[in-house]
């Protein structure tokens, strides 16, 4: 596995300082060396000329005797050349062995114009020779030459001190880099991440600080939202537990009371079946209530089976209406199933969808009048949804209660609901089921006219 090396500001700053410092140092060395070299050359030329005239004068006066008495400094040389170019005397080499010098540039110039000068490079010696020739009275030429190191040779002589200076510059760059990094990093590390806006930071860091601040704000808002949600859930649970206890206690108290009266022989034998019937009715209510509580708790804890299957909503509605037919008969309510037989299947949880449709239809029958109707319609809504609409001609729900009937244990008329075996959890189960299926839920009701509740199921769950 390839691991990325974490970059260090220190290395980067050091590199920048080093490159800048070394470049500056090298440029300085180059300029200084070039300047010094041209100064030295200039000075050497002037000395060469002065000495050449001096020596020429002495040769004119004393001839070869003077030259023989000369002891030139190392690197300097005097040559006496006859007008025909032959060498009369040389301070370094035997004159007879030397070739004719008449074609040398400085000699030619001196023979024609009285004086001449030239300079020549020797690649092998890495040296430059400066020559100055002067013609004396007898027409001969006296040439004085000195050797001077080339610019590179001079530079190489200064190599060690130059390298030492560059090393010093590198160390200095390291120290400057370390100091600079400290100055940059210290204020960044001092930023108070809780309220970065109050910290004194570099202008370049301000966008980062603003981003941290925005994120902090978002986090605070999310935390606040979560806390509120948590408190809401907590309140819900407490209320639910209190409601459940209360709802369980009422039928249990009735059951216990009826049983006690029978046990104590306070009921005439002819009335026993009626009391037993009451006990049975209350027990049935308890069973329904506990069943609904279990369903809603399972939905709360997401315990319902997550596997979805293809559901035929029309078939589900038809089954529910078959199931409710006896109760509807007893209540004198007519049931109708309407809409196209050919509606798209939806992806859903059968058990939950069945509960939803059952509760809606059950309410439509329960809160109806004798001779009333319940119409269940299953119809496509666009290409991606199917709506189940349950409309009744019952007592209706007053406007003030319409937004609350989906709450747990909320009933418009508690006594009537209990009388007909309601638990106050039916519409709450419908609401949970709609959430589970990401379905839309709409209630329209007019007291005395009837209620229509529509659930619009998406054909596919939104996440798939």
Q: How many CA atoms lie within 13 A of 300 on its CB side?
A: 13
| Measured distance CA(404)–CA(420) in Å, rounded | 20
Judged by beta carbon, residue 104 or residue 431, the one nearer ligand ADP is 431
Judged by beta carbon, residue 217 or residue 351, the one nearer ligand ADP is 351
- Nearest approach, Cβ of 413 to ligand ADP (angstroms)? 6
- Nearest approach, Cβ of 230 to ligand ADP (angstroms)? 26
Residue 244 has a CB neighbour count (10 Å cut-off) of 18
- Nearest approach, Cβ of 409 to ligand ADP (angstroms)? 8
Nearest to 42 by CA among 122, 124, 119: 119
Judged by beta carbon, residue 145 or residue 417, the one nearer ligand ADP is 417
| Measured distance CA(342)–CA(346) in Å, rounded | 12
Q: What DSSP line would sit under 136-158, residue for residue? A: -TTS-EEEEEEEEE-HHHHHHHT
Question: Using CB under 6 A, which residues numbered 416 to 445 contact ligand ADP?
Answer: 417, 422-428
Judged by beta carbon, residue 52 or residue 320, the one nearer ligand ADP is 320
Please tell me whether residue 454 binds ligand ADP under the rule CB under 6 A: no
Beta carbons of 315 and 337 less than 8 angstroms apart:
no
Judged by beta carbon, residue 141 or residue 397, the one nearer ligand ADP is 397
Nearest to 394 by CA among 358, 430, 440, 360: 360
Question: Using CB under 6 A, which residues numbered 384 to 423 contact ligand ADP?
Answer: 392, 394-397, 405, 410-413, 417, 422-423
- Nearest approach, Cβ of 360 to ligand ADP (angstroms)? 8
Nearest to 88 by CA among 145, 142, 133: 142
- Nearest approach, Cβ of 342 to ligand ADP (angstroms)? 28
Helix, strand, or coil (residue 118):
strand
Nearest to 101 by CA among 120, 122, 80: 80
Judged by beta carbon, residue 32 or residue 336, the one nearer ligand ADP is 336
- Nearest approach, Cβ of 380 to ligand ADP (angstroms)? 24
Nearest-CB residue to ligand ADP? 426
- Nearest approach, Cβ of 363 to ligand ADP (angstroms)? 3
Binding mask 326-365 for ligand ADP (x = CB under 6 A): ---------------------------------x---xx-
Longest Cα separation, the chain:
176
- Copy the structure tokens of residue 36: 């010094």
- Nearest approach, Cβ of 286 to ligand ADP (angstroms)? 14
| Measured distance CA(389)–CA(367) in Å, rounded | 16
**Considering only residues 135, 393, 451, 456, which one is a binding residue for ligand ADP as defined by CB under 6 A?**
451
- Nearest approach, Cβ of 249 to ligand ADP (angstroms)? 17
β-bridge pairing 309-311 and 127-135: unpaired
**Considering only residues 367, 372, 377, 437, which one is a binding residue for ligand ADP as defined by CB under 6 A?**
367
- Nearest approach, Cβ of 195 to ligand ADP (angstroms)? 49
| Measured distance CA(120)–CA(77) in Å, rounded | 14
Judged by beta carbon, residue 205 or residue 412, the one nearer ligand ADP is 412
Judged by beta carbon, residue 106 or residue 247, the one nearer ligand ADP is 247
Chain mean position to CA 459: 36
| Measured distance CA(106)–CA(98) in Å, rounded | 17
Judged by beta carbon, residue 146 or residue 397, the one nearer ligand ADP is 397
DSSP H stretches of helix in 332-462: 350-366, 399-402, 414-419, 426-436
Judged by beta carbon, residue 106 or residue 292, the one nearer ligand ADP is 292
Residues contacting ligand ADP: total by CB under 6 A = 23
List residues binding ligand ADP (CB under 6 A).
359, 363-364, 367, 392, 394-397, 405, 410-413, 417, 422-428, 451
């Amino acid at each position: 596995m390839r691991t990325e090396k974490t970059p260090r500001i220190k290395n980067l700053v050091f590199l920048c300082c080093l490159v800048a410092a070394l470049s500056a140092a090298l440029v300085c060395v180059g300029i200084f060396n070039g300047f010094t070299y041209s100064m030295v050359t200039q000075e050497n030329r002037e000395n060469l000329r002065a000495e050449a005239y001096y020596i020429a004068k002495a040769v004119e006066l004393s001839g070869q005797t003077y030259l023989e008495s000369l002891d030139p400094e190392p690197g300097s040389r005097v040559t006496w050349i006859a007008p025909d170019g032959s060498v009369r005397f040389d301070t370094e080499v035997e004159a007879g062995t030397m070739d004719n010098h008449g074609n040398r540039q400085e000699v030619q110039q001196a023979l024609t114009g009285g004086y001449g000068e030239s300079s020549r490079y020797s690649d092998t010696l890495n040296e430059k020779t400066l020559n100055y020739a002067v013609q004396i009275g007898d027409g001969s030429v006296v040439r004085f030459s000195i050797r001077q190191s080339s610019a590179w040779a001079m530079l190489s002589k200064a190599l060690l001190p130059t390298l030492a200076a560059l090393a010093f510059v590198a160390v200095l760059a390291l120290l400057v880099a370390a100091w600079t990094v400290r100055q940059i990093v210290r204020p960044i590390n001092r930023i108070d991440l809780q309220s970065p806006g109050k910290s004194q930071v570099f202008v370049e860091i301000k966008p980062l600080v603003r981003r941290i601040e925005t994120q902090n704000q978002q986090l605070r808002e999310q935390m606040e939202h979560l806390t509120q949600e948590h408190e809401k859930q907590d309140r819900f649970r407490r209320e639910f537990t209190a409601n459940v206890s209360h709802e369980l206690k009422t039928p249990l108290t009735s059951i216990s009371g009826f049983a006690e009266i029978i046990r104590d022989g306070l009921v005439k034998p002819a009335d026993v079946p009626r009391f037993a019937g009451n006990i049975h009715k209350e027990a049935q209510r308890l069973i329904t209530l506990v069943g609904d509580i279990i369903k809603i708790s399972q939905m709360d804890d997401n315990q319902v089976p997550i596997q979805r299957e293809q559901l035929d909503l029309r078939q589900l509605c038809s089954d529910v209406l078959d199931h409710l037919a006896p109760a509807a008969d007893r209540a004198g309510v007519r049931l109708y199933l309407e809409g196209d037989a050919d509606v798209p299947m939806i992806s859903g949880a059968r058990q939950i969808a069945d509960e939803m449709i059952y509760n809606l239809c059950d309410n439509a029958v329960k809160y109806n009048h004798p001779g009333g109707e319940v119409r269940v319609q299953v119809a496509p809504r666009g290409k991606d949804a199917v709506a189940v609409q349950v409309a009744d001609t019952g007592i209706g729900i007053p406007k003030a209660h319409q937004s609350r009937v989906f709450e747990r244990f909320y009933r418009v008329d508690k006594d009537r609901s209990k009388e007909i075996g309601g638990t106050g959890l039916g519409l709450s189960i419908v609401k949970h089921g709609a959430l589970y299926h990401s379905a839309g839920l709409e209630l329209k009701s007019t007291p005395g006219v009837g209620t229509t509740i529509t659930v619009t199921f998406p054909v596919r769950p939104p996440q798939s």
